[in-house]
């Protein structure tokens, strides 16, 4: 990864990862069997999926996998695509399958859709807020346990960019690493020596550390909790000779929708926001047996 690039993962997670997510969700919900669904006749039926608030749609592969795990012959006719902005009252899909399987898969399939659509929706709002500035919206590792690949996929669907996926695919030096190494320079050199092939992200706490990181070189610099004046000065330093903006600057901390645009307009390259995946507002959806209402 060059200094001006961010890691872009394949849009959709591996099929086996989606299937594993679905298997866990169905196992925790069904347990020894759906005792209520057993009251229904095991006959063919129809259902429709209704969106009950404005949102960015995301999570179809998980929804499909839930229903096909219980009824391989189910037919799902989608009226929207991943990433579509949908309005309240939109019928997203119609289904044809076995009545018991439809209602048993209902909750798990909706849980995936509402969570991932919520993540995509809030990401899209942040992306919209910085549009035209050149800043990119990044996620973090603050994801729901067990759903990291799914939520990071939803961030991409919402127009955001993934930060590192875990502790294994990038080196990120923070205060504790610098303290242990004795200096920022020593920490950077040790990281390069041990993990030369991995991207290196360096967090700095002062303008002096920023200049140190720029001199040593890395793939991205995180200016954490800088005030507005320090942030603008950091941008000026990073874009002046001899650095010429080759190392992107990332902002984290103290970011919300009231401060986001101003931070982006200061000229930073990336803004990472834990709330994209941590503060999940689940989108209100419902799956109802029967044909959809007439338009």
At 177, which CATH number? 3.20.20.70
Distance CA 78, CA 121 (A): 19
| 246 located within any domain | yes
| 225 located within any domain | yes
Mean pLDDT of the region 86-114: 98
The catalytic position among 7, 68, 141, 142 is: 142
Q: Is 107 a catalytic residue?
A: yes
| 88 located within any domain | yes
- Checking if the pLDDT of 4 tops 60, the result is no
Q: Is 142 a catalytic residue?
A: yes
The catalytic position among 9, 205, 224, 265 is: 224
Q: Is 152 a catalytic residue?
A: no
The catalytic position among 7, 68, 79, 107 is: 107
Q: Are residues 163 and 260 in the same domain?
A: yes
Q: For the chain, what is the domain count?
A: 2
| 10 located within any domain | no
Q: Are residues 101 and 139 in the same domain?
A: no
| 236 located within any domain | yes
Q: What is the pLDDT of residues 123-182, one digit of tens each?
A: 999 999 999 999 999 999 999 999 999 999 999 999 999 999 999 999 999 999 999 999
Mean pLDDT of the region 188-208: 97
Q: Is 192 a catalytic residue?
A: no
Percent of the chain's residues with pLDDT above 90: 92
| 139 located within any domain | yes
Q: Are residues 116 and 154 in the same domain?
A: no
Q: Structure pTM?
A: 0.93
The catalytic position among 64, 82, 203, 266 is: 203
The catalytic position among 7, 68, 79, 174 is: 174
Q: What is the pLDDT of residue 5?
A: 41
Q: Is 278 a catalytic residue?
A: no
At 65, which CATH number? 3.90.1170.20
């Amino acid at each position: 990864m060059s200094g001006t690039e961010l890691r872009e993962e394949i849009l959709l997670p591996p099929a086996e990862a989606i299937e594993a997510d679905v298997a866990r969700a169905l196992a925790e919900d069904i347990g020894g069997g759906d005792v209520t669904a057993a009251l229904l006749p095991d006959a063919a039926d129809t259902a429709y999926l209704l969106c009950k608030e404005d949102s960015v749609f995301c999570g179809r592969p998980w929804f499909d996998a839930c229903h096909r795990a219980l009824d391989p012959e189910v037919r799902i006719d989608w009226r929207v695509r991943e990433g579509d902005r949908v309005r309240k009252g939109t019928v997203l899909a119609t289904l044809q399958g076995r009545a018991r399987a439809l209602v048993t898969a209902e909750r798990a399939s909706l849980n995936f859709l509402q969570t991932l659509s919520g993540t995509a929706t809030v990401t899209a709002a942040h992306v919209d807020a910085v549009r035209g500035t050149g800043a990119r919206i990044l996620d973090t590792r603050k994801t729901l346990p067990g759903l990291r690949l799914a939520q990071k996929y939803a961030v991409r669907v919402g127009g955001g960019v993934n930060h590192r996926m875990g502790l294994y695919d990038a080196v990120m030096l923070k205060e504790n690493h610098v303290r242990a190494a004795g200096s920022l320079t020593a920490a950077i050199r040790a990281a390069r020596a041990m993990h030369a092939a991995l991207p290196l992200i360096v967090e700095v706490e002062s303008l002096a550390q920023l200049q140190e990181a720029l001199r040593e070189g890395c793939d991205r610099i995180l200016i954490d909790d800088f005030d507005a004046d320090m942030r603008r000065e950091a941008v000026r330093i990073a874009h002046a000779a001899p650095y010429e903006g080759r190392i992107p600057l990332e902002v984290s901390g103290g970011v919300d929708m009231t401060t986001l645009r101003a931070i982006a307009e200061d000229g930073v390259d990336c803004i990472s926001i834990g709330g994209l995946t941590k503060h999940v507002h689940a989108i209100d959806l419902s799956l109802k047996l029967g044909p959809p209402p007439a338009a």
